[in-house]
A and B are shown apart, each in its own frame.
Chain A
Amino acid sequence: MSDSPTLSILDQIAEAPADHYRVLKISDLDGDRLLELSKFMKLSLSREDMLAIQEIYRGWEREPTDVELEVIAQTWSEHCKHRIFGATITHEIDGATETVDSLFKTYIRDVSQRIFDKKPGFVLSAFHDNAGFITLDDNLAVCLKAETHNHPSAIEPYAGANTGLGGVIRDILGAGKGAKPIGSLDVFCFGAPDTTMDHIKAEDVIHPLGVMRGVVRGVRDYGNRMGIPTISGAIQFDDSYIYNPLVFCGTAGVIPIKDINKKVEAGMKVISVGGRTGRDGLHGATFSSAALDTESHESDQQAVQIGNPIEEKKAADFVLAARDKGLIGFITDCGAGGYSSAAGEMLEECGGVIDLDQVKLKEPGLVSWEVFISESQERMVLAVNESALPELRKLADLYETELTELGTADGSGILKVTHHGNTVCQLDCSKLHDAPVRKLKARWEKKTGPVDAPVLTKLGEVLKGLFTDFAIVSREPIIREYDHEVQGNTVLKPLAGAPGDAPQDASVLRISGSKRLMSMSVAILPEWGKTDPYAMGAACVDECVRQLVASGADPDRLAILDNFCMGNPDAEEELGALVETVKGIAAAAEAYGAPFVSGKDSFYNYFETEDGPVSIPVTILISGMGIIEDAKHVTGASLRRSDSLLAIIGHTQSALGGSVFARRHDLANAEVPATSLDEAFKCYRQYYEAVKEGLILSAHDVSEGGLAVTLAEAAFSGKGGLEIDLCSLPMDDDASKAAMLFGESPSRLVIEVAPENLERVAKLFEGLPFAALGRSTPGHSNLVVEWGKETLINESLTDLKSLWKNGLAQYY
């Protein structure tokens, strides 16, 4: 019977002491059979992992249960353990070889630790909790967390994005003893909305327009119903995201500093609050640790769940009330891995017993492992003193959410799970920390070189073209679908200016109970990384920091998050691009003193098409938070007056690589601008001095589209026309007109100042790249850009704005 071809490997090796769990005889299996078992159970564990598990059980002289194997698979999954960021990587860069012993330790944790040491008391918690906290004032701290939900959004855009946001909101509710969610960000990477069907080389792939509409509505319906303003975001469109769209969701929170530290103690009761447990969302963590193919669209539906924001809203009201009454010992969310990772995290040191018979189910008949790893949404797990239970039950009744007692923390150090009178899992979690370290190979070779800039005659037409480009067009139709003002604290809104529809860089939230404010921004430049991932990493940190500082944040009180997405980490060149990106963000973070406080990564974003595998480019999202000392410092990106002067901070390079202009003019492999980190940070500090002295009317960062687009966007506020002369622009000697107008060199800001203040501002920037550019005028409503006696651009701002506003509107 054991060799019958009709029996699965699972059936061949299983013994069932009861019908709800099985003991799996793995001790005699060879590597091939172990891998077969991993695949059959959808564990996403490698041959080496399975062999290591076999060895652990040999040491314990017993066989695992199916529940235990599932728990270990969750614990060791890429999603939970970040195996690739912990791997030993042999990296070849332009012919030289270097060995990286854990990207995370070397470039993220150690860099951040050095910054923590230089700024005592600023970062209050990083990396170990659900989100990292920084000090707001004497009593309050703020936090930010961003996650991806790429695979679910590819298969079921609405539900995938819906639960993506729902999940990161729970991260905040489970940060410290429960932080209050106060604002969300969303960043998407899609195929272009005008992609033709014959361009999509696989069946069952959802058209980018369908993905975009579904994802936006998913975010809208969760965020709006939870009453959390969605205030910040970005969208990138590129063919490489047709098969693997990226959906980043982030949420910020605020907490009393005294409630940041949490601890489980022996004797505490473990309770679950919120939704019930069902078969939805099985294997989400392990599913997200593998690639997609056409079959995924049929077979992995079970891994995607449907969100219920009102269930989560009730749980959130309960958690925040319980925290304020001092009833919470420890709290975490139920995310990937469900109860197994929530209880595992909670009990990994203390140990304890979880009784699955207590779990409230959506449907009968779940076997033990299904109950324990189900990722059903809207559940929070808490450890509380037994004496607090009566009051917690009253609160649960008041807010109409379900509270279930799951078990007890017992100080044994062992995670024990019982079901129907059997012990179905008994693991010493301290023995499971050391998943085998992966050994990977990476390489990167310089791809860029000198490219002749095209000779351009109709610069105005080029500018008009840029304003129709999906990289630049207004996201207004999407922004308006999100409630970005609920909670009544959105001071700097995603749309601004006198008509309320001009672009903004960072968004700023007032924090109830504090005089200080919090700024939030995002930066993502995947095009740069295709040819120069190191430059992309540095420039992303730069852009995020620059936007925060531009909005009025103190450059010495910023913190950032790193969210990586990439294709196949086993492909050497793709991994090489990742390594270079990580080095780039680390160098910039260290130079700016902006530590990483949280991060996440998503791998296997590639797809087997008819033409072979398609990977996304290595994509880094840097999102950041900054502290604004005083409401007077808040600075928007829109032109405010028609009698003001404009100036530029920062140096313009000749390099055009990565720019929207380069993409539209087929300048493949053009040199990508580097970031002069030390000089840039000096500029940001001087800018902050000017803000504190009240000298800055508005400031807009120079990013996609370059200086010409930035100037026009600032003037979309409708306050006046602009008369600009580039003759004193700080720039490379060989910078072309295209580079001056459309290049995307980092670290630049266009500022607006009152005429009487220009001299003082210029003095602040002595020795740094700074120049007066021109003035705003009530005389006309054009963007006029001259270079000495030559008029480069003279275009109606009304026409440019109409192109910009309608670019996406026609597709959404």
Chain B
Amino acid sequence: MEERPCAILLKFPGTNCDAETARALEEVGFVTETLPVSALKPEKLVGVSLVVLSGGFSYGDYVMSGRIASLVTEQKIGKTLGDFRDNGGYILGICNGFQILTQLDLLPSGSLVENASGRFQCQWVTLKNLAPTSPFLTHLPAEFEFPIAHAEGRLVTKDAAEAAGYLSGGAAALTYRDEVNGSFERIAGLQDESGRVFGLMPHPERFLHRQDHYDPDWKGTGEDETRGSGYYFFRSLHESITKSN
């Protein structure tokens, strides 16, 4: 019988996309456990292939987004997530999860700050796939759409050169095709050097089905017409993990 890889979804007070993210992971073949951070211990990561930080507003994000969640995580398990990655584990941060990962120094340095518009923005965006060999993006075409919903998604780096370096060096896995939130180099998603840590502002878990698209006549991508691009994001990840095991 096929062994289903195990994913843990870390849930902070204010995390609110964990249910649909778990649903997405299960649909492509993961076993999932949603773990409130109060119960987080280093040994919880034993036997786990993937740790997911889902979207939401951890602790309200009243301070800098993701800041308190990163401090609580470090207090609970120290540098365990880094060891987990070094031992072959995968880590995914979506939206608030991406913000937390940048605070935990698990991704190339940068901060996700208030959108240039000064607004919360809920809309669909077209993304450019700059890392087609990334374990998260193998089944996705060169351009595809995901929805975004964030107030603090503008990626800024210490200077323009650093962001340009992410683009040329491969850390910038996803960029917005159009100007969206003022991100340097229009960066929408980052990966680390191992390729196993991935953070993105858009929400793949909201686009599992063709019917999730705003246009009922959307033509679809991939081999199965009923699926949305988000499905292929998670399926890429599942395939990479089962191949590497």
Q: A residues touching B (Cβ–Cβ < 8 Å)?
A: 220, 224-227, 308-310, 313-314, 317, 397-400, 479-491, 493, 495-498, 500, 510, 512, 631, 634, 636, 640-641
Contact = CB atoms under 8 A, between A and B. Distances in A.
Contacts of A631: 211
B147 interface: yes
Given A400-B38, A485-B122, A226 B16 contact: yes
Given A225-B57, A486-B16, A641-B217, 13 more contacts: A225-B16, A308-B60, A309-B57, A310-B13, A313-B14, A317-B36, A480-B121, A481-B121, A484-B122, A488-B212, A496-B215, A498-B215, A510-B211
Contacts of A490: 212
Max chain A CB contacts within 10 Å: which of B13, B23, B55, B203?
Answer: B13
B19 A487 contact: yes
Contact of B20 (A225, A488, A491, A498): A488
Given A483-B149, A488-B208, A488-B212, A310 B60 contact: yes
A482 B57 contact: no
Contacts of A636: 216
A479 B214 CA distance: 14
Given A225-B57, A400-B38, A480 B211 contact: no
Contact of A400 (B13, B211, B216): B13
Nearest to A397: B38
A640 B216 contact: yes
Contact of B205 (A488, A491, A497): A488
Contacts of A313: 13-14, 16
A480 B119 contact: yes
A227 B121 contact: no
Contacts of A491: 211-212
B36 to A, nearest CB: 5
A326 to B, nearest CB: 19
Contacts of B17: 227, 486-488
A488 B23 contact: yes
7 contacts: A225-B57, A317-B11, A399-B38, A485-B147, A487-B19, A488-B24, A636-B216
Interface in B184-222: 203, 205-206, 208, 211-212, 214-217
B166 interface: no
Contacts of A314: 13-14
Given A400-B38, A482-B122, A495-B214, A227 B56 contact: yes
Nearest to A488: B20
B59 interface: yes
B136 to A, nearest CB: 18
Interface in B153-200: none
Contacts of A226: 16
B214 A310 contact: no
Interface size classification for chain B: 35 or more
A313 B61 CA distance: 13
A496 B149 CA distance: 16
Contact of B16 (A227, A398, A495, A641): A227
B14 A310 contact: yes
Given A227-B56, A309-B60, A488-B20, A481 B13 contact: no
Closest 10 CB pairs of A and B: A227-B16, A488-B20, A483-B149, A500-B214, A310-B60, A488-B206, A310-B14, A225-B57, A481-B120, A498-B215
B123 interface: yes
A227 B208 CA distance: 18
B63 interface: no
B84 interface: no
A631 B226 CA distance: 12
A226 B59 CA distance: 11
Contact of B214 (A309, A482, A496): A496
B124 interface: yes
A398 B39 CA distance: 7
Contacts of A310: 13-14, 57, 59-60
A552 B210 CA distance: 18
Interface in B215-233: 215-217
A488 B18 CA distance: 11
A510 B19 CA distance: 14
Nearest to B20: A488
Contacts, number: 103
Nearest to A717: B215
A634 to B, nearest CB: 7
Contacts of B212: 488, 490-491
A483 to B, nearest CB: 4
Nearest to B213: A500
Contact of B57 (A224, A496, A498): A224
Contacts of B120: 220, 224, 480-483
Nearest to B207: A488
A490 B205 CA distance: 12
B38 A497 contact: no
A486 B149 contact: yes
Nearest to B60: A310
A498 B214 CA distance: 7
A308 B59 CA distance: 10
B52 to A, nearest CB: 14
Nearest to A476: B123
B23 A512 contact: yes
A796 B57 CA distance: 43
Contacts of B121: 480-481
A736 B175 CA distance: 54
Contact of B119 (A317, A398, A481, A634): A481
Max chain A CB contacts within 10 Å: which of B11, B19, B39, B59?
Answer: B19
Nearest to A517: B211
Contacts of B20: 486-489
A4 to B, nearest CB: 50
Interface in B108-154: 119-124, 147, 149
A399 B119 contact: no
A512 B209 CA distance: 13
B211 A486 contact: no
Contact of A640 (B24, B56, B208, B217): B217
A482 B208 CA distance: 21
Max chain A CB contacts within 10 Å: which of B11, B24, B214?
Answer: B214
A486 B216 contact: no
Given A398-B36, A399-B13, A481 B122 contact: yes
Nearest to A481: B120
Contacts of A224: 57, 120, 149
Given A310-B13, A500-B123, A486 B38 contact: no
Contacts of B38: 397-400
B204 to A, nearest CB: 10
Interface string B9-43: 00101101101100110000000000010110000
A226 B38 CA distance: 19
Nearest to A632: B211
Contacts of B36: 317, 398-400
A733 B149 CA distance: 51
B211 A483 contact: no
A500 B215 contact: yes
Contacts of A479: 122
B127 to A, nearest CB: 15
A95 to B, nearest CB: 53
A631 B147 CA distance: 21
Contacts of B57: 224-225, 309-310
A220 B57 CA distance: 13
Nearest to B14: A310
A400 B11 CA distance: 11
A582 B181 CA distance: 47
Nearest to A477: B119
Contacts of A317: 11, 36
B26 to A, nearest CB: 12
A634 B14 CA distance: 32
Contacts of A487: 17, 19-20
A497 B215 contact: yes
Contact of B149 (A485, A497, A512): A485
A487 B24 CA distance: 11
Contacts of A488: 17, 20, 23-24, 203, 205-206, 208, 212
